[in-house]
Amino acid sequence: MHHYKLAPTALPQLPKAPTGIEGLDEITEGGLPLGRPTLVCGSAGCGKTLLGIEFLVRGILDYDEPGVLMTFEETANELTANVASLGFDLQAMQADKKLRVDHVHIERSEIEETGEYDLEGLFIRLGYAIDSIGAKRVMLDTIEALFAGFPNEAVLRSEIRRLFRWLKDKGVTTVITAERGEGTLTRQGLEEYVSDCVILLDNRVIDQITTRRLRIVKYRGSTHGTNEYPYLITEDGFSVLPVTSLKLEHTVSDTIISSGVPSLDEMFARRGWYQGSSILITGTAGTAKTTLAASFALETCRRGERCLFFAFEESPAQLIRNMRTVGLDLQPCVDQGLLLIEASRPTLNGLERHLVTVHKLIKEFRPQAVVIDPISNLISVGSISEVRSMLTRLIDFLKVSNVTALFTALVSGRDGRMELTEEGISSLVDTWLSVRDLEGIGERNRGLSIFKARGMAHSNQVREFLVTDQGIQLLDVVIGPLGIITGASRLTQRIQEQAHLTAQQQEADRKDRELERKRRVLEATIANLRTEFESVEEELRRVHSEEQSRQQASDKARDSAAENLNNRLLGASQRPA
């Protein structure tokens, strides 16, 4: 039995020519098929010609591969002027023998008169252009102009096949542009079958906002991204939104950074959140979300790190003025070049343009932290699913770059959590803070709680906080009989507690005085007993002394009588008989 299955690394991979276009190489997993034709099709104004020209220009600038641009519609001068706004100097490349631009004019009436049409002349011109500069890349713009008005479809098909086969035999990597047909990718409906790679560009308008999408329809011999990917044509050229980060393979950091509010840091087990993580602050209007975001931005700048602040509701001057009133002076950070405030209405651009703007500024400014305030405004320029897709890419891109991201979002007052779950953003972030109104009797107070913090224990309390002229201050939790007490009730509770403490102190003082009185009475009683005891003791001593005196007198009298008796007896014995 034969085993034909080889190890994954045993078979050679399809050689590819990198395009140098941001994002496109990631989607195609390396670039376009090397030495084979690629068809780029789409409707008018979707950027087919630009993609092809950038493929040639990037090949010259980045990979030192000369290129040939053969156009059947625009002249060389027109093309050169059109792409000059993107910073591409085609004339200089032609002067350096790195690029050949050849405009081929095809007259339809001549074809109709003679009835004969073949591509021999084109092959000769194209072959000469390729050989003269040693071209590795070729672009034909557009194939419709080449076969316009050709009546015989059978001959047309054979000529198209012959063109593609000739390009393969020359070994050049070719981009051929084609107009989109009715119900087919191209007008002839054939080019996509003989091409090795087909890229479809789509330019659509949804709710008055233009959105461009790119899709790899097929890629022989290679796997590729199959989704529709947003792309942009900016002053830097053609760029597909990067999708490299969607594999969730980024590295993570164990470094803890401060939120800018010390009392908020204490609510996390590790006194802050992880660097490179994503933080979401949600709340109703007026719950100091922007102030919390500005505190984080200011703390980032205090560490000497750069912060990029996207403001969708306030101008930079208004943001700086408002934050100064709460003790957060952002102006020095701006002056030092540590803080960049980018302010614009979300409706200025589509979602893709916002995402590319973020990418571009992050590459230029290289911040350690990014703040977007608020992301909920993006709903005005896209559906919830589109915003979720855009934010998924944004969050992943920031994580790959190890940039700490803080987002704020406005939610409805009734059921903010439900609305946000629909928006689908809360599941994307690592840390979710909620700020909300705690309504008391005749007043509204602000409360902050942590819904989640991945990889870290955190407080489960709702902490009341104040926005003071020294920034945000979280207050200690006061528990009453009915739960957490805020605002004026907190003051009432404090007065009651103070009165209770005063009463307790007074009761303790009264007991101390009572004890003192009892001690004095007891000491007086002890003194009286001691005096009485001393009197009894003295009386006993007196009686005992008198008894001793009597005993001594008695003994003395007895001794005296005995002595007298002895003397009488002695005197009688000495008398003569």
What pLDDT score does 557 carry? 85
CA distance 394 to 182: 36
pLDDT digits (tens, 9 = 90+) for 232-273: 787 777 878 755 445 566 677 888 999 989 989 999 988 999
Own/partner contacts of 445-451, CB < 8 Å, gap of 24 or more, are 445/486, 445/487, 446/287, 446/288, 447/486, 448/264, 448/474, 450/267, 450/268, 451/417, 451/426
Q: Which residues contact 417 (CB under 8 A, 6 or more apart)?
A: 411, 426, 434, 451
What pLDDT score does 422 carry? 44
Model confidence at 439, pLDDT cuts 50, 70, 90, reads confident
| pLDDT(165) > 70 | yes
Q: What is the mean pLDDT of the chain?
A: 81
Least confident of 1-10, 458-467, 468-477: 1-10
| pLDDT(169) > 80 | yes
User: In the Cβ-directed half-sphere of 204, how many Cα atoms lie within 13 Å?
Assistant: 10
Kindly state the percentage of the chain with pLDDT values over 70: 82
pTM to 2 decimal places: 0.65
pLDDT digits (tens, 9 = 90+) for 323-358: 999 999 999 999 999 999 988 777 666 677 777 778
**Mean pLDDT confidence for 400-410:** 88
| pLDDT(549) > 60 | yes
CA distance 374 to 532: 92
Model confidence at 223, pLDDT cuts 50, 70, 90, reads confident
**Mean pLDDT confidence for 302-318:** 91
Model confidence at 217, pLDDT cuts 50, 70, 90, reads confident
| pLDDT(148) > 70 | no
User: Which tokens hold the place of 515?
Assistant: 């004890």
Q: 225 to each of 26, 33, 214, 215, how far by Cα in Å?
A: 8, 15, 10, 8
Least confident of 172-176, 245-249, 547-551: 245-249
Model confidence at 185, pLDDT cuts 50, 70, 90, reads low
User: In the Cβ-directed half-sphere of 302, how many Cα atoms lie within 13 Å?
Assistant: 14
